[in-house]
């Protein structure tokens, strides 16, 4: 059975999968909000607290550090770009007793000198609110552009809702695997939104603008193009995640995957 005939027979069943993913994602985010008061865990750059940078060659996994120092922290390992060896750690601490926490840090890593940055919760809150406004503005602006391009409500609405669904699914996946939302994560989400809208515009245009082929041929061609774009993007981002030693690049690539 060819791809075209198989898709034409089962396209209604295939629509169930993204709907189920969206429902499950909304359930995960809703449960997070009812349990913790927020849709997803944010790091110190978005919720305030202390960011401690330690230079050491001692090898710990981030999970080991979190188990030793407590639950109210987030740990990132710093590695050398050239060799991949450990250079140190960045620890985000959101508790109130910073003095006793620093004593535990000094004891664990055997250091007396380290960098510490205090991030005001008020500033973080303003940054977060500004980020939400920026994302909302981007969605509205892209909605207008898409509507002006197609001059029809249904395809424009479908494209925008698809982009929003991608963001919801990504946030739910980040929550499941324990990734805190950070400034670099927000950058990745904005990239994801742009990529999603752009690819959906291309695929929708192939279906609506090309009148030479039959509707089934146009849809099949668009599906093949979309799958090719997704597979190549995932492959490239997977290579970036596996080979990069920079934590920011790892977060961005994992978020986009």
Predicted confidence at residue 27, as pLDDT, reads: 92
How much is the mean pLDDT over the chain?
80
Domain extent for 186: 3-42+122-256
CATH number for 71: 3.30.70.3220
Domain boundary among 75, 104, 119: 119
The full DSSP string for 169-204 is HHHHHHHHHTPPB-HHHHHHHHHHHHHHHHHHHHHH
Considering the domain architecture, whether residues 225 and 148 belong to the same structural domain is answered as yes
Predicted confidence at residue 83, as pLDDT, reads: 61
Pick the residue with more confidence: 24 or 203?
24
> Is the confidence at residue 200, as pLDDT, over 70?
yes
Considering the domain architecture, whether residues 37 and 56 belong to the same structural domain is answered as no
Tens digits of per-residue pLDDT, 27-71? 999 988 888 778 888 877 777 788 888 887 777 877 888 888 876
> If pLDDT is split at 50, 70 and 90, which confidence band does 24 have?
very high
Tens digits of per-residue pLDDT, 242-251? 777 666 777 7
Average pLDDT rounded to a whole number, residues 140-159: 84
β-pair partners for 54: 89
> Is the confidence at residue 222, as pLDDT, over 70?
yes
For 71, 88, 170, the CA distances from 98, given in Å and listed in that order, are 14, 20, 33
Q: Does the predicted TM-score (pTM) go above 0.75? A: no
Assigned token pair, 106: 């000094």
Predicted confidence at residue 53, as pLDDT, reads: 84
> If pLDDT is split at 50, 70 and 90, which confidence band does 220 have?
confident
> If pLDDT is split at 50, 70 and 90, which confidence band does 23 have?
very high
Considering the domain architecture, whether residues 170 and 97 belong to the same structural domain is answered as no
Considering the domain architecture, whether residues 139 and 197 belong to the same structural domain is answered as yes
- The answer to whether 65 touches 91, Cβ cutoff 8 Å, is yes
Domain count, the chain: 2
């Amino acid at each position: 059975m060819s791809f075209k005939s198989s898709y034409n027979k089962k396209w209604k069943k295939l629509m169930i999968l993204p709907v189920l993913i969206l429902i499950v994602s909304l359930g995960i985010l809703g449960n997070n909000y009812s349990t913790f008061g927020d849709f997803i865990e944010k790091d110190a750059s978005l919720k305030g607290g202390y960011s401690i940078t330690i230079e050491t060659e001692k090898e710990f996994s981030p999970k080991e550090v979190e188990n030793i120092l407590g639950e109210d922290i987030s740990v990132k390992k710093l590695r050398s770009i050239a060799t991949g060896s450990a250079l140190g750690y960045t620890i985000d601490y959101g508790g109130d007793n910073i003095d006793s926490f620093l004593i535990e840090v000094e004891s664990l890593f055997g250091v007396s000198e380290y960098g510490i940055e205090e991030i005001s919760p008020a500033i973080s809150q303003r940054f977060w609110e500004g980020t939400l406004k920026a994302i909302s503005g981007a969605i509205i602006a892209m909605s207008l552009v898409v509507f002006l391009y197609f001059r029809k409500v249904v395809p424009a609405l479908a494209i925008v809702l698809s982009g929003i669904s991608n963001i919801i699914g990504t946030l739910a996946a980040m929550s499941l695997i324990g990734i805190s939302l950070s400034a670099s994560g927000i950058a990745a989400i904005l990239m994801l939104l742009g990529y999603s809208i752009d690819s959906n515009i291309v695929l929708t245009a192939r279906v609506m603008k090309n009148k030479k082929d039959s509707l089934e041929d146009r849809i099949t061609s668009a599906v093949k193009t979309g799958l090719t774009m997704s597979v190549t993007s995932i492959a490239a981002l997977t290579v970036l995640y596996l080979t990069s030693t920079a934590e920011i690049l790892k977060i961005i690539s994992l978020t986009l995957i």
